[in-house]
Chain A
Amino acid sequence: MFNKPELVAPGGNFEKVKIAFTYGADAVYLGVEEFGLRKSAQNLTFLQLHEAVELANTLNKKVYVVLNGYTFQDDLEKLPYFLEKLESAKVHALIISDLGTMRMAKKYSTRPLHTSTQASISNWKAAEEWKKVGAKRVVVARECDITECKEIQEKADIEVETFVHGAMCVSYSGKCTISNYSSGRDSNRGGCIQTCRHPFEFNNEPNEDPVYLMNAKDLMGVSLIPEIKKAGLHSLKIEGRMKSNLYLANTVSIYRDAIDTNVLTDNQIDTYETKLKTISNRGFTDGSLHKKADAKESVSSKWNGYSKGSIYLGTIKHKDDQNFYYAEIKGTFHSSENLEVLMPNQLQNIPLNTELFTLSNQKLERVRQNSIVKFKSNTPLELYSILQKPLFNS
């Protein structure tokens, strides 16, 4: 039996923190108001951060705060105040990519420090240097395979966290400034506009179709969980602070199950992969987890759009004492369509056949986006269960 790695999930907002914990994450990473890399993620307020840490402590889970944007000189002034606020929230770690931010964090905080994947650590010698400056953990470059991760962890004697799922930069993280030059947005401070997803024409081949030269497929490492457990890696990370509640719940529950299962069969892995593929994706690859990513296999150079097998409709957020469930709806649908519910601790979706109402008790035929519906269910549902619509012609 091997030690179970910690499962670290994205906490794009407070609700997602609760969903990640409900579906089995051991820890979440999140941004707080400023300094996070995802400027448009709905970062948490400091008040919410305090609540998130309290919740995590109650559940014996962890909250890691990202300060992984590259710090410019003008940002330094605000940093001590921000670090002190994080200190007072007693977050469980800070994720940092910049040496200067790390240095300031050591001065103004006693929180454990993790080096972000933005630092592109891909060898044990570099991990040792980051350890010298205060890192307790390194989130290694996505370009490292499992053997390299293991070697880094053992030789540098440091916790290693590696990405196992989600969208990927085609670039070494932190080494891309395309957006800086093409649009005045800083790729390394949350402003990336994803120019790497554009098609490019080769000038000396005018008759060729444009190619999506850098359109990296999404990472899916669920089949490698047994190998990762055997290697004894400390933590596994899921990308996607901006993604939907469905993505989060589905991905976390599958990786939770894969980590907790002692012996994974090929059938189980097939089931996991099929379920992961139902959520909108750019095609999947195991990236460099197994061996160096091969461009043919890991880039969608002929892009036909996202593929998915299911549409996110909404999240159940409340149940009243008359057993009405209330769901926040994010996608338009018709009440006669086949609906399914994803619940915590259950990999199998439950069909939902019920009447839907507005809060003023009007029966709904067509349910619109950005609304609340209430309904009853024969099967008891849990808070943060996710409503979805399977697509049969995906």
Chain B
Amino acid sequence: MTSKLTTFISSEKELHDYVKAGATHLIIDNTPYSNRSLKPESTLQNTISLFKTCQTKYPDIKLSLNCDVILHNHMIDDIISLFKLLNDINCHHIRFQDLGILTLIKDYCPKATPCYISETGSNNIESLKQLVELGVECIQFTNELPFNHIQQFENELNIETQLQVHGHILIQHSHRQLLSGINKAAFTFHQTEDHNFKGRFYHFYEGQHGTFMFGHFDRCLLEEISRLKKCNITDWIIDFRGLNNDIISQCITTYQKTAKTDLNKTNLTQYKLNLEILTKRPSKAGFFISNKTDIDWRDEKKQPLKNKQVVAQFLDTEKPNYLVMEAIHKFEVTDNLYLLTPENKELHYNTISISNLTDSNLTVCQSGEMIKLPWIKGIMPGTKLIQPI
């Protein structure tokens, strides 16, 4: 299967430039309901007119409409009007991320394929199957998914799929007009540097639907092209909205070349570098290779409390008199109990005696009860009383 080279257009000029560069799927982005449209002044008529021009001039090009706004109730009527118009002109795909828009597509533009953009979430097969059951016929995977999961999902789902292969990575979307809030211009990209993390440059863009923050590097799958091809993705998306046409065209042409020919690693790295020179930004494959996010605290082998039950936690200690703890649930006083410090050091008593705060011995400690144990060297705040399971 040949994947379609896909990018966003907001004007006729972009249409011609990107088709010439090799794009085979265009996403119309000049709608008021594209989340980060760069054409805020656009009207429904402009959108339809661009659509019609594409259809007339390039009938073989696949066309989608971007409608990925986070829907608020007051937008519903206008979106219905747009969808009715689109239904009359045979729009192929409508892209959305808000589930509320799915029913509007089905009701008012049934000829279009509903394409769900998972910006975040839906990173498991059950979610994807649920979306399909709801009527989704095409899914754009998130940028957080590694290729092995993408391959697995692709095999299990019998629908069209999309993946961003190159471009700016959206990492945050706020409903607030943050740039206007500090008297910076909206509708233009601003480069910022994280003051607490020098050398990390983030772009911000404020449009009519809020403020968007982009990662400190761009996504680039050129060096991973052989894995990407094995994923059988229907549409490869290049999302460099905001950059000039020449750079975007260059990017499309590069992917077109790599899609057709099997290039060696050195050539692919060179292509990647060429694009980085044009954009003046670093680029990486990121999570496409693997996603080890939070691996340290998800790794069960590294969990110090596996097969152990915490029965009480530290409250106070006075050398050499006592240790006070709080039982976190009911337990019986047995010889097996021992202490575990926050540094994972085990402290064992020869025999353990536990009393209440007025020094009466206990055989059973109740949940929530404050208990006294003998002082022992090494105790510190955070120490836990452990019962092996």
**Which candidate, B6-14, B25-33, B196-204, B240-248, is the interface stretch facing chain A?**
B196-204
Shortest CB-to-CB span from A168 to chain B, Å, is 10
Within the complex, which residue of A299, A360, A374 is in contact with B322, where a contact is CB–CB below 8 Å?
A360
Q: Tell whether B192 is near chain A: CB-to-CB under 8 Å.
A: yes
Shortest CB-to-CB span from B316 to chain A, Å, is 4
Shortest CB-to-CB span from B244 to chain A, Å, is 18
Q: Tell whether A227 is near chain B: CB-to-CB under 8 Å.
A: no
Within the complex, which residue of B126, B180, B192, B215 is in contact with A181, where a contact is CB–CB below 8 Å?
B215
Question: Which of A213, A214, A371 gathers most chain B CB within 10 Å?
Answer: A213
**Which candidate, A44-52, A82-90, A262-270, A335-343, is the interface stretch facing chain B?**
A44-52
Q: Tell whether B352 is near chain A: CB-to-CB under 8 Å.
A: no
Given contacts A152-B73, A191-B294, A360-B322, contact A295 B178 (CB under 8 A): yes
Within the complex, which residue of B101, B104, B124, B293 is in contact with A184, where a contact is CB–CB below 8 Å?
B293
For the complex, give the distance between the alpha carbons of A374 and B357 in Å: 10
Q: Is the CB of B181 within 8 A of A299?
A: yes
Q: Tell whether A130 is near chain B: CB-to-CB under 8 Å.
A: yes
Q: Tell whether A224 is near chain B: CB-to-CB under 8 Å.
A: no
- Tell me which residues across on chain A come within 8 A of B101, comparing CB atoms: 125
- Summarize B's interface: helix, strand, loop or mixed: mixed
For the complex, give the distance between the alpha carbons of A299 and B381 in Å: 36
Interface residues of B in 177-202 (CB under 8 A from A): 177-182, 184, 190-197, 200-202
- Tell me which residues across on chain B come within 8 A of A143, comparing CB atoms: 70, 72, 175
Q: Is the CB of A14 within 8 A of B172?
A: no
Q: Tell whether A382 is near chain B: CB-to-CB under 8 Å.
A: no
Q: Is the CB of B124 within 8 A of A76?
A: yes
Q: Tell whether A352 is near chain B: CB-to-CB under 8 Å.
A: no
- The range of chain A's interface size is 35 or more
Residues of chain B at interface, number, CB under 8 A: 90
Q: Tell whether B144 is near chain A: CB-to-CB under 8 Å.
A: yes
- Summarize A's interface: helix, strand, loop or mixed: mixed
Q: Is the CB of B358 within 8 A of A320?
A: yes
Q: Is the CB of B103 within 8 A of A129?
A: yes
Q: Is the CB of A359 within 8 A of B180?
A: no
- Tell me which residues across on chain A come within 8 A of B100, comparing CB atoms: 123-129
Within the complex, which residue of A132, A198, A320 is in contact with B134, where a contact is CB–CB below 8 Å?
A132
Within the complex, which residue of B172, B176, B178, B326 is in contact with A317, where a contact is CB–CB below 8 Å?
B326
Q: Tell whether A182 is near chain B: CB-to-CB under 8 Å.
A: yes
Given contacts A199-B195, A203-B191, A301-B181, contact A177 B120 (CB under 8 A): yes
Shortest CB-to-CB span from A43 to chain B, Å, is 12
Within the complex, which residue of B197, B286, B322 is in contact with A198, where a contact is CB–CB below 8 Å?
B197
- Tell me which residues across on chain B come within 8 A of A358, comparing CB atoms: 318
Q: Is the CB of B315 within 8 A of A328?
A: yes
Q: Is the CB of A128 within 8 A of B293?
A: no
Given contacts A47-B329, A126-B100, A181-B215, contact A213 B178 (CB under 8 A): yes
For the complex, give the distance between the alpha carbons of A161 and B70 in Å: 19
- Tell me which residues across on chain A come within 8 A of B126, comparing CB atoms: 71, 76, 99-101, 103-104
Within the complex, which residue of A73, A202, A372 is in contact with B149, where a contact is CB–CB below 8 Å?
A73
**Contact pattern, B 114-135, Cβ under 8 Å of A = 1, otherwise 0:** 0000011111111111110010
Within the complex, which residue of B120, B175, B217 is in contact with A188, where a contact is CB–CB below 8 Å?
B120
Q: Tell whether B98 is near chain A: CB-to-CB under 8 Å.
A: yes
Q: Is the CB of A177 within 8 A of B322?
A: no
For the complex, give the distance between the alpha carbons of A359 and B119 in Å: 56
Q: Is the CB of A294 within 8 A of B196?
A: no
Q: Is the CB of A123 within 8 A of B76?
A: yes
Shortest CB-to-CB span from B113 to chain A, Å, is 18
Q: Tell whether A97 is near chain B: CB-to-CB under 8 Å.
A: yes
Given contacts A48-B328, A151-B73, contact A202 B190 (CB under 8 A): yes
For the complex, give the distance between the alpha carbons of A76 and B143 in Å: 19
* Smallest Cβ-Cβ distance to A213: which chain B residue: B178
Within the complex, which residue of B104, B124, B204, B324 is in contact with A125, where a contact is CB–CB below 8 Å?
B104
For the complex, give the distance between the alpha carbons of A210 and B194 in Å: 9
Q: Tell whether A247 is near chain B: CB-to-CB under 8 Å.
A: no
Q: Tell whether A70 is near chain B: CB-to-CB under 8 Å.
A: yes
Please give the residue numbers on chain B whose beta carbons come within 8 Å of chain A beta carbons, in ascending order. 70-73, 75-76, 98-104, 119-131, 134, 143-144, 149, 152, 169, 171-182, 184, 190-197, 200-202, 204, 210-211, 213, 215-217, 286-287, 291-295, 297, 309-310, 314-316, 318, 321-322, 324, 326, 328-329, 357-358, 367-368, 370, 372, 381
Which 8 pairs, one residue from A and one from B, show the smallest C-beta to C-beta distance?
A295-B181, A100-B126, A125-B100, A100-B127, A126-B100, A200-B192, A129-B99, A199-B195
* 17 CB < 8 A contacts A-B: A14-B367, A14-B368, A18-B368, A45-B309, A72-B124, A101-B127, A148-B73, A175-B70, A176-B120, A181-B216, A182-B216, A184-B294, A184-B295, A214-B178, A295-B179, A318-B370, A359-B357
